[in-house]
Each structure stands twice: as structure tokens, then as C-alpha cells.
Amino acid sequence: MKIILFLLVGFTSVNSFAQKSFLLKQNYPVGKKYDYSLISSQIISQKFGATTVNITQDIGTDYFFVVAGEINGDKNINVIYNRIYMKSVTGGNTMILDSNVPDSTKKNPFSGLKGARFSMVFAPNGEIKAVTGIDKMVAKMATEMTNDTSEVKQIQNSLTQQFNAEMVKQTMESSFKIYPEKPVKIGDSWTVDTKIKMSMPIETITKYTLKDVKNGIATLNVNGTLLSKGNFETMGNKLETDLKGTNSGDVEMDIKSGMVINSHLRIDLFGTMKSMGKNIDFDMQGINKITGKEVN
């Protein structure tokens, strides 16, 4: 009888925990500082006619998030670049840009980013409500690249195509807008729709499922779809995309603060692109990783 009662109590306890609701949201304490590292690794194949071009690239960004203030749950975050780097290999040609490597030629746009900063308003649901300070940051990057004042404006305009408030907002939301609109139990799912228009337009519809909670850490399972259908321009070339794909993986989140501790997502994107009336078969496989930690 005692064994039966013990089993019943144990079952009730497990069942009660499974039915417990958890509130997952951005809840960074004011005054705290966080170190975030975002790494994207990609293998890309582009085939047009009998020609195939293979590209591998790694892009990494290290930030500090300093929680400067709060208004009605929205946090004012000062974002400081610690490092940004890119390595791209096309055929036998390799290009490396790294903000940590001094550049006497003033041709590295990343050299002006180390220590550069901007501010953003981060809502509890992960939405980025505002981004400020990007223009000042871009101006600093341009002056780091040349001493010729006549060239600064031209370089600044070019950099603005890659670094502007809207693109930074989209980038941050694609990484951190992952929270449900209401408390969830283990096994519950919710979806988040994000749109990115950087090098190409991409819409992501991602389904998150609360997989487990242990020692204050929530583990989320991620399954989503990607769609890129539209026009964009890069390096003077106009392209049209008709691509689709998936993203899948896991996210670990600190429940108390909402901080993403680890995120590991696999990205697959494939289909066709059109340039100057010619079709290009496109295939990309990638891994996106995020690691975060409190540093004070």
C-alpha cells in the first residue's frame, strides 16, 4: 500500500509540474550587462548554365548589451560592438574582414566598428520598438576608411545600405523575437512571423514549442519555414528570388531574465534566382548560433 501511495504521489507531482505555466519574456534587469555572440556559417551553391559557383562564409558578431533604463517594461539597451568579422571563400579566392585586425590601408569597413554603439528599445515580447545612433556609427566607420573628406559622404551612403536603423531592427528581431504572447506549459507551441530585407527579402514563420524546464532554464524546440520571393539589388546587380526552406533546432533561455543562453538553428534554403533574364539554381545550408551570458 505504501508503495502504491508513493507512486501516486510521485505521478501527481510530475503531472502538476507538467501543467505549470511559465511566463517567457524579455525581463532584463536595469544595470545588467550581457555578452552576446552571433555566428552564421553558410555553404552556398549557385548554378547557372554549365557553371557552378560554390561559396562558404562565416559571419560573426560579438555585442555587449547594457540595460540602461526601463519604461513600462520596455528596456533601453545600449548595444556596443566588441567584434565583427567575415570570412568568405569563393572558388580559390578568400576575403577576410575583421574589426580586431588593424588595417593601415583604410579599406576595411569593419575597422571602425569595434567599440561603436547604438541604442534600441527592447519590448517584453522581443519586438525592437526603436533603434537610434546608427547614423553616427556609420559616419565613424566612413571616417575610419579615408582621410579624404570628399570620399567620406560617398562611403557613408554606401555603408548605409547595409547598416541602417531598419536593417538593425530586423536583424535583432530575427534573433530575439521568440517569446509567446501568454504563459505556456510544457508541450505548448506558438508561432512568430518575422520579415527580413537585407541582402534578400526573407519571411520566416517559426513554431516554438516549450520542450522542457530545468533549473530555471527553458528549452525550446524550433521548427519553421522560410520564403524568399521578391526583388533586391546587390553590388549593382538586380535579382529576383523564388526560394523556400526550413529552419530547425533548439533554444535555451533563462526564464527569470528571458536571456537567450544558447541557440543552435539549421537553415536550408533552395530554389531559383533570376538575374539579367537568366535563371540561377540556388542552394544554401547554414548554421546560426547564439550564445549569451551575463557579465556583471
Q: How many CA atoms lie within 13 A of 89 on its CB side?
A: 7
Q: Which residues of 239-275 are buried (b: 16+ CB within 10 A; e: fewer)?
A: bbbebebebebebbbbbebbbbbbbebebebebebee
Query: What confidence score (pLDDT) does residue 6 get?
Result: 47
Q: What is the pLDDT of residue 5?
A: 46
Q: Give the C-alpha separation, 96 to 291, whole Å.
A: 23
* Residues facing residue 223 across a β-bridge: 207, 248
Domain boundaries along the sequence of the chain: 26-294
List the grid coordinates of 212. Answer: 522542457
C-alpha cell at 142: 566612413
* CATH architecture, domain 26-294: Roll (2.30)
**Strand ranges inside the chain, DSSP E:** 33-48, 51-71, 74-90, 93-98, 117-122, 128-132, 189-197, 201-214, 217-234, 237-254, 260-275, 278-294
pLDDT of residue 136: 86
Q: Which cell is 1 given?
A: 500500500
Amino acid at 14: V
Model pLDDT, residue 183: 96
> Helix or strand or coil: residue 182?
coil
Provide CB contacts within 8 A for 93, sequence distance 6+.
Answer: none
Sites in the chain below the pLDDT cut of 70: 1-18, 103-107, 197-199, 234-236
CB distance 188 to 208 below 8 Å = no
Q: Quick one: pLDDT at residue 99? A: 86
At 54-108, the pLDDT tens digits run 999 999 999 999 999 999 999 999 999 999 999 999 988 998 888 888 766 666 7
Asked if residue 82 lies in contact with residue 107, where contact means CB atoms within 8 angstroms, the answer is no
